Structure 1
Amino acid sequence: MLVESLAIVLHKIKYDDKNLIVHVYSRDFGRISYIAAKRKKQGSVHASAFEALSLIRYQAEHKPNRELQRMKECQHLYAFHTLFLDPVKNSISLFLSEVLYRVLQEAETNESLFAYLSESIKILDLVEDGKANFHLAFLMQLCRYLGITPNMEDAQAGWYFDMQAGCFVPFPPNHKFWMSYEEAGPFIHLQNIAFDNLADYRFSRIQRRKLLDTLLDYYRLHLNNFPEIKSLDIMQDLFEG
């Protein structure tokens, strides 16, 4: 059956000399993997469409019970202006594509999530002021779509943030995954970050690294089999306060 859809590229690996395996998050099929030709020719796909977080429109042949479907045609859905040219944005795109590759495991469709991801990627391409905070806002907002949003409503001095429960409690939990109110301060502050106020958040390099580590630890506690992110070190070394 020939199908058409829109997708976000998450990851690609070499299959053989002529083909790639491309993992995407599709509007109509959720997380799905395809075999796609590398070379540009009439009626085929082009490898340049498969850079991290590329937005594509494609046709594919779907057959029942086949693990890898075949992508027949592909084109860019959105022409990036700076994403692959700006070293900060390019590093963020590689990092976020790896995170999404790890967290988007289900094949079920979620149109609201697809819309959020698509619009976020376009914003990353265009944003300048506060772009070093983009990944923090993205990950914080992504929590809502993953059903793991931390509850900060009860935050008050002297209480403790239980990272396993995702909320503040009056006494230290009987496990090691918690922060004092003072330690959780920047994390509480991060609840209000959005793509239109990135420049209002003035974090030092150390603060930004701590916040990202906290967010990834939180993901790891609430999502099954969430691994270490290999591109994290590149991200951390790039940003200065």
Structure 2
Amino acid sequence: MLTHTEAIVLNYTKYSDSSLIAHTLTSHYGRQSLMVHGIGKSKQNRLGFFQPLFLLDIHLYFKPGQIQKIKEFKLLIPLQELSQNVYKNTIALFLSEVLYRCVKEEFADEQLFGFVKTSILILDEIKSGIPLFHIAFMVKLARRLGFMTDEKIQKDYFDFKEGHEIDFKPPHDFYIGKEGHNILIELLHQPYTELENLSVTLIQRNYLLDAVVLLYEHQILNFKAIKSYPVLKEVFSQ
């Protein structure tokens, strides 16, 4: 069946000198793997269209449970900053890995797609608050996926395993302190365009990022280590 959908690139694997398999999040069909032929052969080399979090408009022959064959594709919206700004490019690589690991294949969720698409467009546009963007995105995504609370706590710790606040440090690593948890809640409710208004130090940012990654590792089945995680921390180490 020939059909049309929007797609967000998560990553790709070279299949041959002129073909690749793109792993994407689509608006109508959830996460899908797409077979793309003719890459690099035409006068317009379109391999660059498959950078992390790039937005595509595609026509494909859809068959459930298979690698989908693309008939034609084009950029939905050019994202200049996402490809040229090293900070935004690093965030895109990191978040594309996160999405690849936590979004189920062929589970269509147009609201989730809309959230991710809107977040990408804002990331491409914003000029400030960039060092907090990926943390805010992960918190907002976790809330949408159902494993992040939306209220601040009064006790000393929040136990990710049990899903509630406690007075004592739990006997495992899946927790966050009161101050860190309450900053995450602020990030959850703060618009991306106003992240600059939050006062968060480099040490706090690293602590929050580590905590959110732990949350995902606990909540998402078989959530493997994020390869770009060390690169992200290095880029934002100043």
Match of 2:211 in 1: 214
Residue range with higher mean Cα deviation, 73-82 or 189-198: 189-198
Q: 5 Å matches for 1:1-241?
A: 1-37=1-37, 38-39=39-40, 41=42, 46-63=46-63, 67-153=66-152, 155-156=153-154, 158-170=155-167, 172-173=169-170, 175-182=172-179, 184-241=181-238
Q: Is the 8 A contact 1:160 1:170 kept in 2?
A: yes
Partners of 2:106 and 2:88 in 1: how far apart?
A: 28
| Other structure's SS at 2:192 match | coil
Superposed CA deviations along residues 161-219 of structure 1, whole A, max 9, x for unmatched, are: 11112321345545443344356454454443331211012322222111111001011
Shift of 1:104: 1.1
What TM-score results when the alignment is normalised by the length of structure 1? Answer: 0.89
Partners of 1:164 and 1:6 in 2: how far apart?
A: 36
Q: Is the 8 A contact 2:159 2:175 kept in 1?
A: yes
Report percent identity of matched pairs.
35
Partners of 2:23 and 2:211 in 1: how far apart?
A: 27
Q: Is the 8 A contact 1:83 1:89 kept in 2?
A: yes
Unaligned residue ranges in structure 1 (runs of 5+): none
Unaligned residue ranges in structure 2 (runs of 5+): none
Q: Is the 8 A contact 1:151 1:167 kept in 2?
A: no
Q: Considering only aligned residues, what root-mean-square deviation do their CA atoms show, in Å?
A: 2.2
Q: Closer, same or farther in 2 for the Cα pair 1:239/1:176, shift >3 Å?
A: closer
Letter in 2 for 1:150: T
Q: Closer, same or farther in 2 for the Cα pair 1:165/1:40, shift >3 Å?
A: farther
Superposed CA deviations along residues 94-132 of structure 1, whole A, max 9, x for unmatched, are: 111111111112312111101101111000000011111
Q: Is the 8 A contact 2:19 2:36 kept in 1?
A: yes
Q: Closer, same or farther in 2 for the Cα pair 1:191/1:54, shift >3 Å?
A: closer
Q: Is the 8 A contact 1:46 1:74 kept in 2?
A: no
Q: Is the 8 A contact 1:49 1:74 kept in 2?
A: no
Shift of 1:16: 1.3
Q: Closer, same or farther in 2 for the Cα pair 1:63/1:221, shift >3 Å?
A: closer
Q: Is the 8 A contact 1:45 1:75 kept in 2?
A: no
Partners of 1:161 and 1:62 in 2: how far apart?
A: 44
Q: Is the 8 A contact 2:151 2:185 kept in 1?
A: yes
Partners of 1:235 and 1:197 in 2: how far apart?
A: 22
| Other structure's SS at 1:196 match | helix
Name whichever structure is richer in helix by fraction. 2
Letter in 2 for 1:39: G
What TM-score results when the alignment is normalised by the length of structure 2? Answer: 0.90
Aligned residues: 237
| Other structure's SS at 1:230 match | coil
Shift of 1:84: 0.8
Q: Is the 8 A contact 1:152 1:168 kept in 2?
A: no
